[in-house]
Amino acid sequence: RVVLASMFSRKILLALGVAGSASAFAPAGPALRVGASKAPVLKSSAPARRPVAASLKMAETAEGFGASHTSFYTSAKAKDSYATLDEILDSKMADKGVRGITKETLAACVKITEALRVNLVTVADAQNSVFGDVQLGVDVLADDIMWDMAKTSKLVREASSEEEPVMVETSKDGRFTICWDPLDGSSIVDNNWAVGTIVGIWDKTTGMLGATGRDQVTSIVVLYGPRTTALVVCDDGVYEFTCGAGNKWFASRERIQIKQDSKIFSPANLRACQEDKGYDELVKYWMESKYTLRYSGGLVPDVYQFFTKEMGVFANPTSKESPAKLRVAFEVAPFALLVEKAGGKTSDGVTGGSCLDIKITAVDQRTAACLGSAGEVDRFNTMVLKK
């Protein structure tokens, strides 16, 4: 179990400037460590830092003056202890092989975390993107780390990267096909905004080509922000893991559920509003209904928030002048599995059917998509697709 340590020790470390690894970005509040004691222990000698609210005199303000009027804060409550990655996977992921590839993937993402902490965001010396996209040094570093994992793993049979979308056999004796976007959010990483890694995993019985997203044995999305966190599909739902002290993962959220309705929206590809009347009307509906806009331009943070806020909708329709951009195998299928396993819904942006039912016929296949709270995806299908 992961046990809570004192806030005081964490403050001392931060004052000394200890950083450079995922362990320096443990959750706010009491620092987290792996304790030897079996019983959960809560220690905190920190004095109260704020006066009692009732003793404060506040000026009268109009309704909605505070940020909380339009913002949605976490509902998570601190616990005395948290289950470790091994504890959750051993009890919630029956297949030993799937447990193994999940752990190997998360270990690679710890290395990506450390690389992001110490490397500047600059254009890569060699540009190898087959699409003509500008590759950054951190893109190449993240991709190299994922390839090192895939090529040395005894579990991986074949692999493909969004940076180089060809299927590569890594081990004839391996079991899994693994596809990844090593660093989604290249256009915003120079701002030091949150970015992430997206991973889809298929068994050799189906492979990825000719299969669908529904055939995935699991999918994993890792978010690199002030903390490094990961969403993982287990047998009974979606779990979030946080990378804590010593780069050890612990379960920060269990069996996440996305609510039917939402008041948060993330509208991608707004250029399409100029050609698509339905999408234009949908965006206006969200604004006129006073939904809260939460959109960064990074797929990982924009969809990841559904699992922390427990609601949301991400829409990325297409038009003649704004064609499909999202890749099925590397982005949409992994996220769609997470969303639907958490009780949300997805739309392929064409038929209105689930993104998990798109047959993958090419490594670089693209699609429109809408993901999130079921009621909002239904609204997208009605207003944009007329379904």
Whether residue 248 contacts residue 85, with contact meaning beta carbons closer than 8 Å, is answered with yes
Strand, coil or helix: 387: coil
Rounded to whole angstroms, what are the CA distances from 255 to 21, 163, 267, 268?
Answer: 28, 32, 27, 28
State the distance between the two ends of the chain, measured CA to CA, in whole angstroms. Answer: 48
Strand, coil or helix: 329: helix
Contacts of 73 (CB under 8 A, 6+ apart): none
Closest CA to 255 of 276, 274, 234, 271: 234
Average pLDDT of the segment spanning 370-382: 98
Q: Between vectors from CA 23 to CA 255 and to CA 118, what angle results, nearest 5°?
A: 120
Residue 29 has pLDDT above 70, yes or no: no
Question: The tokens of 133 are what?
Answer: 């996209």
Name 279's bridge partners.
none
Q: What pLDDT does residue 71 have? A: 73
Helix 374-383 to helix 277-288 angle (10° resolution) is 140
Q: Give the confidence band of 62 by pLDDT, cuts at 50, 70, 90.
A: low
Q: E strands of 115-175, at which residues?
A: 156-161, 164-169
Mean pLDDT (the chain, rounded): 86
Q: Between vectors from CA 98 to CA 95 and to CA 326, what angle results, nearest 5°?
A: 135
Average pLDDT of the segment spanning 272-280: 96
Question: The tokens of 126 are what?
Answer: 């060699």
Q: What pLDDT does residue 136 have? A: 78
Name 251's bridge partners.
241
- Whole-number percent of the chain with pLDDT over 70: 79
Contacts of 135 (CB under 8 A, 6+ apart): 123, 124, 126, 127, 128, 129, 163, 186
> What is the 3 state secondary structure string of 304-328?
HHHHHHCCCEEEECCCCCCCCCEEH
pTM of the model: 0.83
Q: What pLDDT does residue 19 have? A: 42
